[in-house]
Structure 1
């Protein structure tokens, strides 16, 4: 998403923010990343606007609504979601289908129905036809038969044949996050755009001064070292969550929270 030139023909990108739908939205982390994204080209203007979200967990929907009040946050299974009212209303679809069927912490059983939740994601994409879609999952998804089926979907005659894919396993530490977390990222670009949106170039590396240090897209000499986790935990503990809103401790739907750090694991 660094190269806004790729998106110039969305129609006045620098004038209006891109409209985002978040599937498997959780409490809104993916959506928050889009909402808070800033680029020098925009001179402080908003790049993305969160329009809609779909999430199965009611407590997560409550938190999502608290932080994205203008969005239509829908509490339902994505399999039951009717995307047709959003045709022509969405520029970007983002989401991370449930990953437990692929995760090394699970059994990775081929008959786990959660392994096929990506189909609900692509069903929505095929109907809404956004200019861009971003799909996230654990790294094991990249070598699964299920991802092979997703690749088939973009082949001629497939439901997503008018999209071009950029994909790769990215490590959050390579982007300044003080945590090493590998995730498989797929970015689909509609072929009506002049060129495909690439995977983002890393800004950090574990050993940036070492020749041949893995950097994927950039000269290692231009990268910063990974941020250590003590950069977070050495700071005084904050009892409030800056910039994040949570539901009241008890609301009319019986959802509890938020909780202070001192109450956790008690």
Structure 2
């Protein structure tokens, strides 16, 4: 079984990464699962691949349930860069940031962000069934639920991940604007970013973003754009999502939701306001879904 584990390691790592959203935690889960597989009596196992997937999934489920919160650590790396840096802030914690970024791109940053808003059971059911074709009967046994209940978990998760169509005629145009904002921030294109902002744009960030004792506000195109440029490298961990039914942007750190940007638009389609949210209580109240 140990030899089989090594043969299956790339797939098992993919399973763990999608369930946990963190490369470091996925590798920890694989180490734990390897020890369990090494110690277990597997003489009666008829499907080694399925058995190993179950072991890894159960380890990951325990890790998800053990998280006290999705946002345990404060964003303390932007304090010395000014409040406008909150436009694209985040902190690194991965053992291999380059590989983490590559995996996030392969899976989809927005998908990882939405997955982080799901409960452990929903996330496990969706990932195992929709991404790895694990039968609901097997997933139900891991969760201690009926297959029918497990199907419902996956269905709810699927709706959040895919998003529900929003009857808003301006949605496509606003999505293009936020897509362009993210592209300009990632690429360090200051002029392109400025072109998306209304002359009277105001960015408001809560106290957890900077952090500061009080919320802060930054006004003016150049000040807001400069703040985004300061943190352009961390914009790779951002994705475009729906926030309370409106186009917004969310940022993750090792697969954990950390910051959400809500946008308001002027009549001409330019971005007139950016509300940057990082306080856990505020984040927990947001309804974040994919965009269909």
TM bucket by the smaller chain? under 0.3
Please identify which structure carries the higher helix content: 2
Larger Rg: 2
TM-score, structure 1 as length reference: 0.24
Higher relative contact order (CA 8 A, sep 6+): 2
TM-score, structure 2 as length reference: 0.22
